[in-house]
Amino acid sequence: MTVRRLRIQCPHCGVRAIEEFLHGEIPTIPERVVDPDARDLDRAFMHTNAEGLVTERWFHAMGCRRWLTLTRDTRTNDIPERTTSYPPS
Amino acid sequence: MNEFVERLVDLRWPDHVRPSYDVVIIGGGGHGLATAYYLATRHGITNVAVIEKGYIGSGNSGRNTTIIRANYGIPEAVRFYQHSLEMYGQLEQETGRDLMHATKGLLWIAHSEAGVRQERARAEINTAFGSRTEYVDVKTISEICPQLDMTGQGVWPIYGASYHPAGASARHDRVVWAYAEGAMRLGVHVHQRTTVTGFLRDGDRVTGVQTTAGPIGGGLVVSAVGGHVTTLASMVGLRLPIRTHQLQAFVTNRYAQAFGPIVASSGLGVYVSQTAKGEMLVGAEVDRAPAYAYDSGHSFLRSCAFRSIALLPFLRDLRVLRQWTGVCDMSTDYSPVMGFTGVPNLLVTTGWGTWGFKAIPAGGEQMAALIATGRTPPLIAPFALERFANDRTMADRGSAGTH
Amino acid sequence: MANGSLLTHLLRGEKYPAGGGCLCLAGDCPHCLATVDGIAYVRTCQTPYHEGVSVEPHPESGRLPPPVSLGDRAPVPARSIHCDVVVIGQGPAGRGAADEARDAGQHVVTLESRLGQDAIGIYPGPLVVARTNSGMWHLYPREGIVVATGASEIQPVVPGNDLRGLVTARAAAELTSTGIDLGRVIAVGTPPADVVATTVAGELVRFEPRSGDPRRVGAVVMRDAKGQEQRHECDTVSLGLGLTPRDALLRMARGTNIRGVGDVLLAPDLPPCPSTGVVCPCAGVTVDDLRSVHGRGFRELDLVKRATLAGTGPCQGAVCVPHIRSFLGAQGSDPPASFTARPVTRQLTLGEAAAGAHHAATPRTALDSQHRALGAQMERLGGWWRPWHYGDVDAEYTAVRNGASICDVSTLGKMQISGPDAVALLEHLYPVPIASLAPGRSRYVLLLDERGYVVDDGMVSRDSETRFTLTFTSGGARFAEAWVRDWAESLDCDVRIMNQTMSLGAINVTGPRARDLLALAGVDSPPAFLHHAVATVAGVSARIFRLSFTGEMSFELHHAADDSTDLWQRLLDLGAGLGVRPHGLEALMKLRLEMGHIIVGQDTDFDSTPRRLNHEWAVRLDKPSFVGRAAVVRTNKVSLDRQLCMLEAEGEAPAEGATIWAGDDYAGYVTSSGWSPALGRSVMLGWLRVQPGINAGSAGLPTMVTIDGRPAHRVTTRSFDPEGLRARA
Amino acid sequence: MRALERMLFTRVVATPAAIDRAVWPTGALVLRIAQDEVLAAGTVDLGAVPDQHAIVEPETAFCGAWVDHKSGIQFLEHACDWELPAERPAFAQGAVAGIPVKVWFEAERILFLVPVPFVIDFAERWS
């Protein structure tokens, strides 16, 4: 199956239940700074809260203790396997 | 024949959609309908439409755990929810409908010294602002709820609790219907199965909504939608401090009324009550990752069943009947957002997260007052959207992650 | 079922567990429910019979007392099974699907409710959860799920449908095949297979009780094509009224790799619109009830359900939905196929649901058994088991203020960072300069989030040009590593990060005689204040950090967790002459409170900016960038609304959480409170709101306030050791 | 299960490339717990890891127990929801009975490594 829900393929540890992970922020796409205060306020408090695909980070707290990045559909919690990536370094 | 069949409410649906209304309210849940009801009953404003994409009460109003309480952690919230709790106490009389309102008392259990401090603090601030909550010791807890395992299975021993005698519940659907009926009787139009697809604009100004039933003009437009509020707001370029999270719960089969109070535990992260039907109702905190999915999770059921048995061992042999999920509009500071949005003629009532049901009467009444007078009533002024820009967030430990 | 089902066993003895009603023998209807071996709402048709089983019928009201005496019941085991395909249902279609998958070389797990394997739900995962007689199965299919749950039979909705002797056509066939004599059978609709029965035509009107046995069917009344009622006497009525797919699992799992085979894909048969009788036996809803609520404006399937509670009982709509659909169709609406499908499709106890779950394990330090042996009251604090006190808080306090004491601080977050970009990373993480910190020195740091709120505090110690040791609070440590790694990756820093929170023990040696204790442990020249050094302490290799939370001279000894018990015991032994004793957190709370040191989480709130915490000294806005800087700059432009302040009052300490009043106005609340032996009065930390014009002192904060009805006053400089001389001694 | 006993490891954090190229003691148990992190039984020389910024520290925070293969698998089937590796030897880590555990699978036996702070809870959940 290429689609998982609430199970995450950790590139280092394998498929694990979502409870093994901490949810990180949904990265905001860098915007052109027009008014630094307003942008900062928006980043701090306002949310796109997308109904659909989001790219987000999860920390595998019960395993390798590293961040991974994946794409999830917030309408269904589908996580297409191919979208998961491990941090470079 | 059963005692739960609705025999009083009479819903009179409109047979047409007017081209425009003085006020268009998006969202036929408790908050939207209560706002319409109070506009009609308190301010004589009846040229009002409530637009609902499903059926009334099909969102979070019909998916919550029906708990009414006012034991919050900051003065502004205690005042607001206490007012709402008192309005609930009068609502059956006012509407003439049987809302199955029952005062049960709510125990909030502490399992550690830190928990004791928190529950003592809750009692202090509640008492100071007119909401009765007292700190109670283990002996009193046993008397209030003899089914509690005071040892917490040897893992989560009970140290003490705050007790909120006014904690209550009511049947969620009946609250929705009573407001809908009352509003419609005075001429408010409630349009079910009508989805808002966009806004009508005149420059910056919002002049109405585009819907699956065609354009509908509105002098003022009020968003009273739940989990999908940011998607709606984005149609006018408005960003809100809201994230949408799933909240799950389950009930057991019905058992005889033998369980009086509502029991909550921050340490175990569960709350348990009994419905009027006799079902045991168990809920927990929201799921962590934002989501709009209505799937019910197994890990929730498993973990929540496990933790609730630690608190109330008799639950072990009860049978799970049904699980469900709502999608909740959680604000950044865990407090509601009510009032003007910065977009002319668009108002919002949101951020109800997991505590919207208990706020329906006060939220509706205060929003109606705001709409009718154009001025924000003092009770909800602290919950205005501009608090985020003004560095006046309403961080409330008494509300975070609970019911 | 090897011994036959419990229900067939009961029927042989003419026992009807739920009183009456049309039995389906397929787990769909509520007419065979009973309390079995102490568990209520058990479907006896799906339960194997065993010797000595106890069966109690449910009371007429349908409301059972919850179990009171629990008795022994072993925890239910849970088993995880990973396979390729799960096939739910082992009728012909399910068997075919399973064979096909096996032939394709796939690892197949099958579930069959008649074997006591009830699929209770298909959950996100995908995960199929099954309740079995040997515990819970959690099935994780890699390739797919096949639902072959078939179809249920439509139940009759006419007067008398609660009588005994009514069975579905399939149930009639099954009972006959097990040797139960049904007597004279009248078949309505599709006749049962291999059963001698008289098939009658027409429209079903009602069932009539038998004379002499009002609970048992004696006749069925049909209306023929001419509109005439025909009465047919019988012992049993077999009802073949049509099929409705048992597709809740299929609908529940939409979107995953799931398919249905066989009858589960049938278009549902629609029974005739019911005119009278009970529609929903679980909730006792009648056709009249449907009419009544429909007339009151409840016109949608879900609104009818909510207005009557039809479909909310143990059978979750299996009996009533076809009839309500038919009813609504007759009123001109086009109802959806059914309610939203929600787990659980077969019921299980909470004890079964909980199988395999555990409490979140609270970690223990390497000294846990030492603390318990010393009689400590252990508490969960900051996510760890920690000693709250050892029985004598006053003596523990006094040992720190007047002599020397040790405290287990192993729970602190501990981390090493190394690499060419270590300085750059830490400069971004912390609101104080890092580059200027010399090797061998330490600095107190706040951790801010991007909202400019304080989320933790700790120390940064520099070991070399490219290497640092960081500490975090016990509560903050859980997230510290994720936080540091997140920023290191986001900023693309070339660093190595090692979290040593659980690897290292830490013991704080504190008190005016701390240096003497270290000397006894063989450390002659311990580091100066805010310095650190590596040394051997009582034979244990340790890194010594000189800092202070208690207000006294303090040395934090970080060491391999394996050495903790040795080091702890040796310090106690060596310090016996100095009166060294350990102190717990209750004493520590008081010691730090006298110094005005905050505890993040207890004294801070979600929105505590450095300014609100009176910690602007710990933030250097002349740094060009650090996490939260923009937010601090922004919020500093807004007038201050409240501040965390030190307060003092005569007499005993008010409760933590006590409200603070300025005259009649609410001013804030106490976050920490304790009696100070050093000062002879109570000291507190608490939030004070700016009160323009009312008893206003500096910055609009009240000076004199009331707590617990007693006067208290705000202090701007702490009274105990205001210069901090003791810590630096 | 046999009592969990303290085990001495060396913990190494270095670039993934340096970990790939590092020379580990012959025959030593080397567990790659992350791309850039290794837990190696016994003592490892800093010089064996070709990364001048590597962090190499003794690690005593794990207790370990070897159990026979059959009882190890039996326990894991009831205690964790993730799929066990099929090949041998193999390393896996994740939640086992709700506790973060590292597992080393050999043909005949299985090593469970449990962080010291959770040893008591783990032992209770094993029984």
A59-88 pLDDT, tens digit each: 999 999 999 989 999 999 988 876 667 654
So what's the pLDDT on residue A28?
47
Chain D touched by C78 (CB under 8 Å): yes
* pLDDT tens-digit map of C452-502: 999 999 999 999 999 999 999 999 988 999 999 999 988 889 999 999 999
Q: Residue C625: how many CA atoms within 13 Å on its side-chain side?
A: 4
In angstroms, the separation between the Cα of residue C636 and the nearest Cα of chain B is 9
H or E element in which residue C499 lies: strand C496-499
Chain D touched by A19 (CB under 8 Å): yes
CA distances from C631 to A46, C104, C600, D6, D33 (A): 14, 60, 19, 47, 37
Contacts of D82 in chain C (CB under 8 A): 80
**What letter would DSSP give residue B357?**
G
Residue C684 in this model has a pLDDT that exceeds 70: yes
Please indicate whether, in this complex, the C-beta atoms of D81 and C80 are within 8 angstroms of each other.
Answer: yes
Q: Are both C2 and C39 inside the same structural domain?
A: yes
For residue C429, which of C411, C410, C412, C415 has the smallest C-alpha distance?
C415
What are φ and ψ of residue C76, in 5° steps? Answer: -80, 125
3-class state of residue B306 by DSSP: helix
Question: Which class is B20-64+172-241+332-387 in CATH?
Answer: alpha beta
C-alpha C207/C-alpha C219 separation (Å) is 6
Please indicate whether, in this complex, the C-beta atoms of D94 and A13 are within 8 angstroms of each other.
Answer: yes
C-alpha B301/C-alpha B281 separation (Å) is 12
Residue of C nearest to B324 (CA): C342
Lowest-pLDDT range, A33-47, C549-563, C564-578, D89-103?
A: A33-47
B347 beta partners: B222, B340
* pLDDT tens-digit map of C51-105: 999 999 888 766 788 887 667 788 999 999 999 999 999 999 999 999 999 999 9
Chain D touched by A17 (CB under 8 Å): yes
Contacts of B243 in chain A (CB under 8 A): 47, 49
C-alpha B51/C-alpha B194 separation (Å) is 6
C-alpha C560/C-alpha C506 separation (Å) is 9
Please count the structural domains in chain D.
Answer: 2
In angstroms, the separation between the Cα of residue D74 and the nearest Cα of chain C is 9
The arrangement of strands across the sheet holding C33-36 comes to C39-43, C33-36, C55-56
Question: Does the residue C567 lie in any domain?
Answer: yes
So what's the pLDDT on residue B207?
98
Q: Which of D53, D77, D80, D121 to mutate to test the interface with C (most CBs of C within 10 A)?
A: D53
Residue of D nearest to A15 (CA): D82
Please indicate whether, in this complex, the C-beta atoms of D94 and A86 are within 8 angstroms of each other.
Answer: no
Chain B touched by C658 (CB under 8 Å): yes
Please indicate whether, in this complex, the C-beta atoms of C296 and B11 are within 8 angstroms of each other.
Answer: yes
3-class state of residue D110 by DSSP: strand
In angstroms, the separation between the Cα of residue C2 and the nearest Cα of chain D is 27
What is the amino acid identity at position B397?
R
Q: Find the domain containing C83 and state its range.
A: 78-151
Instruction: Give the residue numbers in B contacting A (CB under 8 Å), as ranges.
Output: 228, 230-231, 234, 239-244, 288-293, 295, 297, 299, 332, 388-389
Please count the structural domains in chain C.
Answer: 6
C-alpha B306/C-alpha B300 separation (Å) is 10
Chain C touched by A78 (CB under 8 Å): yes
Sequence-separated (6 or more) residues with CB below 8 Å from residue B139: none
Q: What are the sequence ranges of the domains in chain A?
A: 3-83
* pLDDT tens-digit map of B368-392: 999 999 999 999 999 999 999 999 9
Residue B60 in this model has a pLDDT that exceeds 70: yes
H or E element in which residue B200 lies: strand B196-202
For residue C565, which of D116, D120, D123 has the smallest C-alpha distance?
D116
So what's the pLDDT on residue C691?
82
**Percentage of chain A modeled with pLDDT above 70:** 75
Residue of C nearest to B278 (CA): C63
Confidence of residue C114 (pLDDT cuts 50, 70, 90): confident
H or E element in which residue D11 lies: strand D5-13
H or E element in which residue C294 lies: helix C287-295
Please indicate whether, in this complex, the C-beta atoms of A16 and D92 are within 8 angstroms of each other.
Answer: no
Select the residue of A12, A17, A19 nearest D34 (Cβ to Cβ).
Answer: A12
C-alpha B362/C-alpha B44 separation (Å) is 18
Whether omega before C65 lies within 30 degrees of 0, making that bond cis, reads no
In angstroms, the separation between the Cα of residue B100 and the nearest Cα of chain C is 13
Please indicate whether, in this complex, the C-beta atoms of C482 and A5 are within 8 angstroms of each other.
Answer: no
Contacts of D79 in chain C (CB under 8 A): 356
Q: Are both D72 and D117 inside the same structural domain?
A: yes
- Residue B378 burial (CB < 10 Å; 0-12/13-18/19+)? exposed
Q: DSSP 3-state helix, strand, coil percentages of chain D (rounded to 5)?
A: 25, 45, 35
Residue of A nearest to B298 (CA): A6
In angstroms, the separation between the Cα of residue C290 and the nearest Cα of chain D is 46
Q: Give domain A3-83's CATH architecture.
A: 2-Layer Sandwich (3.30)
Q: Find the domain containing D12 and state its range.
A: 5-61
3-class state of residue D87 by DSSP: coil
Chain D touched by C368 (CB under 8 Å): yes
Q: Are both C43 and C91 inside the same structural domain?
A: no
Q: What are the sequence ranges of the domains in chain B?
A: 20-64+172-241+332-387, 102-167+243-331
Contact C296, B11 (CB under 8 A): yes
Please indicate whether, in this complex, the C-beta atoms of C40 and B390 are within 8 angstroms of each other.
Answer: no
C-alpha C459/C-alpha C545 separation (Å) is 10
C-alpha A32/C-alpha C617 separation (Å) is 32
CA distances from B151 to B318, C108, C244, C358, C441 (A): 21, 44, 48, 17, 47
Among residues D45, D61, D77, the one where a domain terminates is: D61
Among residues D61, D80, D108, the one where a domain terminates is: D61
* pLDDT tens-digit map of C28-43: 999 999 999 989 999 9
3-class state of residue A85 by DSSP: strand
**The residue to which tokens 């009588």 are assigned:** C163
For residue C452, which of C273, C626, C308 has the smallest C-alpha distance?
C626
C223 beta partners: C203, C229
What is the amino acid identity at position B201?
R
Contacts of A59 in chain C (CB under 8 A): 482, 485-486
Q: Are both C410 and C508 inside the same structural domain?
A: yes
Question: Does the residue C625 lie in any domain?
Answer: no
**Buried b vs exposed e over B46-66: b needs ≥16 C-beta within 10 Å?**
bbbbbbbbbbbbbbbbbbbbb
Structure tokens at C141: 């299919």
Contacts of A5 in chain C (CB under 8 A): 124-126, 256
Select the residue of C81, C361, C497 nearest D13 (Cβ to Cβ).
Answer: C497
Contacts of C136 in chain D (CB under 8 A): none
What mean pLDDT, rounded, does chain C reach? Answer: 94
Confidence of residue C257 (pLDDT cuts 50, 70, 90): confident
Q: Tell me which residues of chain A, numbers 13 to 72, contact chain B at a CB-CB cutoff of 8 Å.
A: 17-19, 22-23, 26, 41-42, 44-49, 51, 54, 56, 72
Please indicate whether, in this complex, the C-beta atoms of B332 and A47 are within 8 angstroms of each other.
Answer: yes
C-alpha B28/C-alpha C591 separation (Å) is 56
Alpha-helical runs (H) found in C331-476: 350-353, 368-373, 393-402, 422-429
Residue A32 in this model has a pLDDT that exceeds 60: no
CATH code for the structural domain at B102-167+243-331: 3.30.9.10
Please indicate whether, in this complex, the C-beta atoms of C451 and A44 are within 8 angstroms of each other.
Answer: yes
Please indicate whether, in this complex, the C-beta atoms of A72 and B289 are within 8 angstroms of each other.
Answer: yes
Sequence-separated (6 or more) residues with CB below 8 Å from residue B322: B250, B251, C312, C316, C342, C343, C344
Q: Are both C387 and C486 inside the same structural domain?
A: yes
Chain D touched by C226 (CB under 8 Å): no
Sequence-separated (6 or more) residues with CB below 8 Å from residue D52: none
Please indicate whether, in this complex, the C-beta atoms of A1 and C141 are within 8 angstroms of each other.
Answer: yes
Residue of A nearest to D16 (CA): A89
Q: Are both C426 and C565 inside the same structural domain?
A: yes
**The residue to which tokens 């585009």 are assigned:** B210
Structure-derived torsion over alpha carbons of residues C547, C550, C552, C556, reported in degrees to the nearest 10:
-40
Pairwise pLDDT comparison (D47 vs B67), residue with the higher score = B67
Contact D2, D123 (CB under 8 A): no
What Rg value do the Cα atoms of chain B yield, rounded?
A: 21
Residue of B nearest to C283 (CA): B2
Please indicate whether, in this complex, the C-beta atoms of D100 and A64 are within 8 angstroms of each other.
Answer: no
What is the amino acid identity at position D39?
L
So what's the pLDDT on residue B219?
97
How many CB contacts within 8 angstroms connect chain A with chain D?
42
Chain D touched by C74 (CB under 8 Å): no
C-alpha B209/C-alpha D66 separation (Å) is 68
What is the amino acid identity at position B235?
M
How many CB contacts within 8 angstroms connect chain A with chain B?
62
How many CB contacts within 8 angstroms connect chain A with chain C?
58
Please indicate whether, in this complex, the C-beta atoms of A65 and D34 are within 8 angstroms of each other.
Answer: yes
What are φ and ψ of residue C318, in 5° steps? Answer: -60, -40
Among residues D13, D30, D61, the one where a domain terminates is: D61
Structure tokens at C495: 């660093």
- What does the pLDDT average to over C138-159? 96
Q: Are both D17 and D57 inside the same structural domain?
A: yes
H or E element in which residue B233 lies: helix B229-234
Chain A touched by C630 (CB under 8 Å): yes
Domain CATH code at residue C294 = 1.10.10.1100
What mean pLDDT, rounded, does chain B reach? Answer: 94
Q: Tell me which residues of chain B, numbers 292 to 331, contact chain C at a CB-CB cutoff of 8 Å.
A: 293-298, 301-303, 305-310, 313-324
Lowest-pLDDT range, B374-388, C250-264, C368-382?
A: C250-264
Select the residue of A15, A17, A63 nearest D93 (Cβ to Cβ).
Answer: A63
So what's the pLDDT on residue A86?
66
Q: Are both C55 and C98 inside the same structural domain?
A: no
Please indicate whether, in this complex, the C-beta atoms of B388 and A19 are within 8 angstroms of each other.
Answer: no
Sequence-separated (6 or more) residues with CB below 8 Å from residue C698: C716
Contact C593, C645 (CB under 8 A): no
Q: Are both C69 and C107 inside the same structural domain?
A: no
H or E element in which residue B117 lies: helix B113-128
Residue B126 burial (CB count, 10 A): 27
So what's the pLDDT on residue D110?
97
**The residue to which tokens 């029952």 are assigned:** B102
Sequence-separated (6 or more) residues with CB below 8 Å from residue C65: B255, B256, B258
DSSP string, A17-54: EGGGSEE---PPPP---SSHHHHHHHHHH-B---SSEE
C-alpha C593/C-alpha C671 separation (Å) is 11
Chain C touched by D117 (CB under 8 Å): yes
C-alpha A25/C-alpha C627 separation (Å) is 15
Q: Are both D43 and D71 inside the same structural domain?
A: no
Residue of A nearest to D95 (CA): A62
Select the residue of B243, B295, B388 nearest A49 (Cβ to Cβ).
Answer: B243
